[in-house]
Amino acid sequence: MRPAAKRALATAAAGAAGFAWYHGQIPTSQLYGRTICRVREAGKAIALTYDDGPNPRETPGLIEILDRHGAKATFLRIGRWAEREPQLIRELVAAGHAIGNHTHTHPTMPLRTAGQLREDLRRCREAVEAAGVELARVDGRALMRPPYGRRRPGTLRVLKEEGYVPLLWSITCYDWRRTATTAKLVRRAARARDGDIVLLHDGSHTDPAHDRSASIAATDEVLGRLTADGYRFVTVPELVAAGGIP
């Protein structure tokens, strides 16, 4: 093969890989299938979402902060941690928050077979239901967030067949980074405006009691700032009810 042809082939391959990465990773892309990432028509309402708990170290304090500000949030739970902390699942729902499926083991879903995906979804759902709680629903389908936001057409097809609506986000705070500080998280989260869905974490998929104190402190400050500006903090089902399915 001639050098020019090799370069053209390499360029095409890189372009295809970049295309696949973008639409399988960027949360606002809708090419591979519809997801909930923002509800612009919801007015001055924002949805805070928290992944990877329940976390006995951080989730109770987060519940108190949300309650103090009159805010509701959506919690995407890992099944194996839900099995460890069923009381925290019940406390979240009793406080008016919504619960979603975040798989049982937090895999990279596009690398799993359809059968493996169904099993991981089933085990998480059963862990939540064993706590006496049902997953929150939008338009009759249960909320589910793919770990890392990663998906492909086959991933979304399995979710639809299993009765789930995929939930992503419009603002990420990168609170999993080692360099994350409360000030950095506040700057990112405080950008939220009408209908935004904000990604934060109250847990970690590697440690059931991971330190998320920066995320919890940032939540307190952001709620104080934005409620003073007239914003309401609601669950994802409430956000969709206010603005319709995007």
CA distance 36 to 27: 9
Residue of 22, 71, 91 whose CA lies nearest to 233: 71
> Catalytic annotation on 69?
no
**Which residues have a Cβ under 8 Å from the Cβ of 19 and sit 6 or more positions away?**
none
Q: 104, 106, 201, 205: which is the annotated catalytic residue?
A: 201
**Which residues have a Cβ under 8 Å from the Cβ of 25 and sit 6 or more positions away?**
148, 149, 150
Q: 51, 52, 175, 220: which is the annotated catalytic residue?
A: 51
> Catalytic annotation on 196?
no
CA distance 150 to 157: 13
Long-range contacts of residues 126-131, Cβ cutoff 8 Å, at least 24 apart: 126/79, 127/77, 127/79, 127/80, 127/82, 127/83, 128/77, 128/79, 128/82, 128/89, 128/99, 128/101, 130/82, 130/83, 130/86, 131/82, 131/86, 131/87, 131/89, 131/90
Catalytically active residues, by annotation: 51, 201
